[in-house]
Structure 1
Amino acid sequence: MKRKFALLAIAALLSTAAAVPAEPSPGSPGLGDPLFPTLGNGGYDVRHYDVSFDFTPVTYDFSGSVRFTAKATQALSAFNLDTDGHTIDAVTVNGGPATWSLSPGQSGQELTVTPAAPLPEHVPFEAEIRFHGNGKAPRAGLTGWRFGPDGGFAAAAQSSRADTFFPVNDHPSDKATWTFRVTAPEGYVATANGELRGRRGGVWTFEEREPMASELIGIAVVKGTYLYGEGPHALPLRHVVPQGQEARYAPIVAETAGQIAWAEARFGRFPFSTYGIHVYPGYSDALENQTLSLFGTGWFDRPAYSNTMVHELVHQWFGDSVTPATWQDAWLNEGPAVYYAALWAEEHGGQSMTDRMRGVYAKLDQVRAVDGPPGRPKALGGYNIYDGGALVLHALRTEAGDAAFDRIMRRWVQRHKDGNASTEDFIAHAAGTAHRPDLDGFLRAWLYGAQNPPLEGM
């Protein structure tokens, strides 16, 4: 009997100990991303951002606020946000004043917020940061601002530059829904991700109801014109083109509906409630901002501009809807975008897929040695992630067969819609979907190996 009572006493003590709340502590000032260790912040999970952004063209002054709701994932005595180039005017948590400080970060600055009272674990909270600044002011890190001859701007925030527009938990793993209230003066239009919900007194309100990573923000204030269309299943399309150039770009943006239909035949229904492209003379690249891809005007001087349009469209599934868990998983974004744009090009009279992949195969070993293999890149933006990622998919299709490959890709974006996924998730998904356990080792060799494995036709 004594042994029984002793065991009961120990169980009671353990139960009491387990019930003791954790001591509040600061959230980490970074999430330990393999490529960007200090990006993002620990201790909380953002559910929704409400961003107000009042921009003055030509002077580039702005003021704004970001209010967000989040759930604490630990008992928090303080938490951080990523910011860069802002004067912080006020911070509140749960409606009450909070103290705050700014310190240097690896790619920008760290805003540390200390609420008046600790935030309990698993309990929702709300914070608001008011700020102002200038778009052309120096930043501690790279800037996401792109300026045009109209005195306006467009956001190109990938991969770590959303914090140059407002304080944010700037890592793709913390996706949230968004409301944007962007002020544009007479003669200018505002853009942002999601659906336009209204205009009042120069304030344009947009709602992005599907979760979005901060690096995909598409806010802008420009001298532009909205052009409208309809995609498959009555999908609302809205595009923004430079004022005075509507006649040039109207037939170009009209191609979007057919491109979406082409992609839907491969991946299933478009994952968001609207889509379109923003053509801006202040930008020279192309970027998959969620629901509103951003293009420089120079792309449309090229005969094969539709290849780039398809590349950014494919990202809406691969990268935007299904977002990488870490930046080292970026081949999951770029590999499909390059691969399917090449498939589109082949079907429309361009280079054959086999010839293109043969060229990649010949070059990739050297790139692996310097920049890392596709699944473990040493940095972003490299040939190993883009063309190397496409070659991994080509090898998978060659090994698994067309039917199994198509199932793998289609079910991938359906399974992880609105979420995050990793390279390891993809390996397990491919092997399971194809009922081929051997694809585990096959993909590991392609994604992590120091050299290209043998491949038929190469």
Structure 2
Amino acid sequence: MSTSRRTLLTAATGAAVTVPLFGAPAHAAGFDPRPGSDGVGDPLFPTLGNGGYQVDHYDLTFDFTPATYDFTASVTLHARATHDLSAFNLDTDGHTIDSVTVEGRQARTALTLGQSGQELTVTPQAPLHKGAPFTTTVRYHGNGKALRAGLTGWRFGTDGGFASAVQSSRADTFLPCNDTPSDKATWAFHITAPKGYVAAANGELTGKDRSGDGSTVWHFALRERMPTELLGIAVVKGTYLYGSSHTGLPLRHIVPQGREDFYAPIVARTPDHLAWLEAKFGPYPFSVYGVHIYDGYTDALENTTLTLMGTNWFKDDAAGHPTYENTMVHELTHQWFGDSVTPHDWQQAWLNEGPAVYYAALYSEERGWSRMADKMQATYEKLDAIRASDGPPGLPKALGGTNIYDGGALVLYALRLHVGQKKFDRVMGLWPRRFKDRTVTSEDFIRHAVEVTGERGVDRFLRDWLFGVRNPPLTEVAD
């Protein structure tokens, strides 16, 4: 994604038209500057994100000191005003703001408490026109272990380093940003790590600059669009392991120093996982992939191009099966469902988690480790009570529940029984190709399923499963 331009080209008149960056006098015809909203109205997080602009590109510089957890940083946002804009907000939490400029000119700022963190209100020296591209640079510093107004996205390991795990609303603990899944942007990272440590980030490593004190600035570029909730940066004592997929896709993994022999055969399973999923969804949607294994994290998270997993995952089950591969497949599935095709708001999260749970269960079944029918039947039997307490899969009252995860997978399982395997495979295979790099809703999925299957009754079927207060019958009516 190119950086912002000072002119906006239009073909409407067949000529280039200059759009003023800063506002004309307030009385100018049609010019009505007003502040951007302090939220985008997400059903589960009403004040998450900000109105009045869309970000095209983030450029983050981050200089971290292990053990003390101090950092200095700057971020430049290349954005575009979506209405005449007198002021706008950034989501931030726990940072000391040193300066803010808009197009290189000092801006006025105010820092206030928000619902899930803090709100940084930025007032440019003059209002911005609708459609005008502009850059905002924030210089700031802080400490990774400082108190935050909301939850933190920092995860600390025994090595004195950190990894980021920011889903769903914790990217603002690393940088001022527009922290909503509906605003996807390209990214550049410049992360300083001292001697003995490596840096990691989403996207491709584009270069390294070594300094006289032994530290290194690592440069990364993510050329595909990513929302803030999938930010994956780290400074750790790790080792990079490299490889490629069956199609030549570059693979890079980060594993703990001194444990390379243990983790190398584990991450070497990734090409097979990729081949299995690409046969179902088409080409992997990004330019690089890998797994970051870190003892400072105990869950698994699908950060774009760089899945984060805790060291605690990697043990065989009681029967000796490497069922941690199910989790690897789950997170890799997210690269299509969630990372490339992203829910527009958090109430659509079943579109992330349903496919990830479903295909991890299918992978396990094909290897004889478990039976999907048993898992789905168990989910079916308890989902009515969960619908009543937590909401149905398509209308959850909060994130992280069984209704979104196993309940979302059950919706897909029921759809497969209803329309048959061939039509189901087409629905799921075409979805990430049709909506690549975009944000989507349940309504988009319903329309897509109807169009692909050619069955108008699928509309009512999916609405009952996604939004109903009780489970519909789980029956197979097609082959």
Normalized against structure 1, the TM-score is what? 0.95
Aligned twin of 2:229: 215
Q: Report the Cα distance in structure 2 between the residues aligned to 1:335 and 1:222, rounded to whole angstroms.
A: 32
The 5 A counterparts of 1:244-283 are 244-283=258-297
Letter of the 2:422 partner, please give it: A
User: Is residue 197–residue 235 contact of structure 2 (8 Å, CA) maintained in 1?
Assistant: yes
The 5 A counterparts of 1:304-453 are 304-453=323-472
Task: Say whether residues 1:24 and 2:38 are aligned partners.
Answer: no
Q: CA-to-partner distance for each residue in 1:394-415, whole Å, 9 max, x for gaps?
A: 0000001111101101111001
Q: Report the Cα distance in structure 1 between the residues aligned to 2:237 and 2:315, rounded to whole angstroms.
A: 21
Aligned twin of 1:42: 51
> 1:301 deviation in Å?
1.9
The 5 A counterparts of 1:70-85 are 70-85=79-94
5+ unaligned residues in a row in structure 2: which ranges? Answer: 1-27, 211-215, 317-321
Q: Which secondary structure does the structure 2 equivalent of 1:74 belong to?
A: coil
Q: CA-to-partner distance for each residue in 1:273-320, whole Å, 9 max, x for gaps?
A: 000000000100000000000000000024311000000000000000
Q: CA-to-partner distance for each residue in 1:104-137, whole Å, 9 max, x for gaps?
A: 0000000000000101101100100000000000
* Runs of 4+ displaced beyond 4 Å: none
The 5 A counterparts of 1:124-163 are 124-163=133-172
Q: Report the Cα distance in structure 1 between the residues aligned to 2:466 and 2:379, rounded to whole angstroms.
A: 14
> 1:355 deviation in Å?
1.2
Q: Report the Cα distance in structure 2 between the residues aligned to 1:298 and 1:442, rounded to whole angstroms.
A: 40
Q: Report the Cα distance in structure 2 between the residues aligned to 1:416 and 1:232, rounded to whole angstroms.
A: 24
Pairing partner for 2:179 from 157, 163, 170: 170
CA RMSD of aligned residues (A): 1.0
Q: Report the Cα distance in structure 1 between the residues aligned to 2:43 and 2:331, rounded to whole angstroms.
A: 25
User: Is residue 180–residue 227 contact of structure 2 (8 Å, CA) maintained in 1?
Assistant: yes
5+ unaligned residues in a row in structure 1: which ranges? Answer: 1-18
> 1:450 deviation in Å?
0.4
Q: Which secondary structure does the structure 2 equivalent of 1:232 belong to?
A: coil
> 1:22 deviation in Å?
3.1
Q: CA-to-partner distance for each residue in 1:312-343, whole Å, 9 max, x for gaps?
A: 00000000000001100000000000000000
> 1:100 deviation in Å?
0.4
Q: Report the Cα distance in structure 2 between the residues aligned to 1:368 and 1:352, rounded to whole angstroms.
A: 24
Letter of the 1:32 partner, please give it: G
Aligned twin of 1:66: 75
> 1:351 deviation in Å?
1.5
> 1:457 deviation in Å?
7.0
Q: Which secondary structure does the structure 2 equivalent of 1:408 belong to?
A: helix
Q: Report the Cα distance in structure 2 between the residues aligned to 1:261 and 1:103, rounded to whole angstroms.
A: 48
User: Is residue 70–residue 142 contact of structure 2 (8 Å, CA) maintained in 1?
Assistant: yes
Normalized against structure 2, the TM-score is what? 0.91
Q: Report the Cα distance in structure 1 between the residues aligned to 2:91 and 2:228, rounded to whole angstroms.
A: 11
Letter of the 1:395 partner, please give it: A
Aligned twin of 2:204: 195
Mean Cα deviation higher: 241-250 or 297-306: 297-306
Q: Which secondary structure does the structure 1 equivalent of 2:380 belong to?
A: helix
Pairing partner for 1:296 from 310, 317, 336: 310
Q: Report the Cα distance in structure 1 between the residues aligned to 2:247 and 2:357, rounded to whole angstroms.
A: 26
Name the structure where helix makes up a greater proportion of residues. 1
Q: Report the Cα distance in structure 2 between the residues aligned to 1:149 and 1:123, rounded to whole angstroms.
A: 46
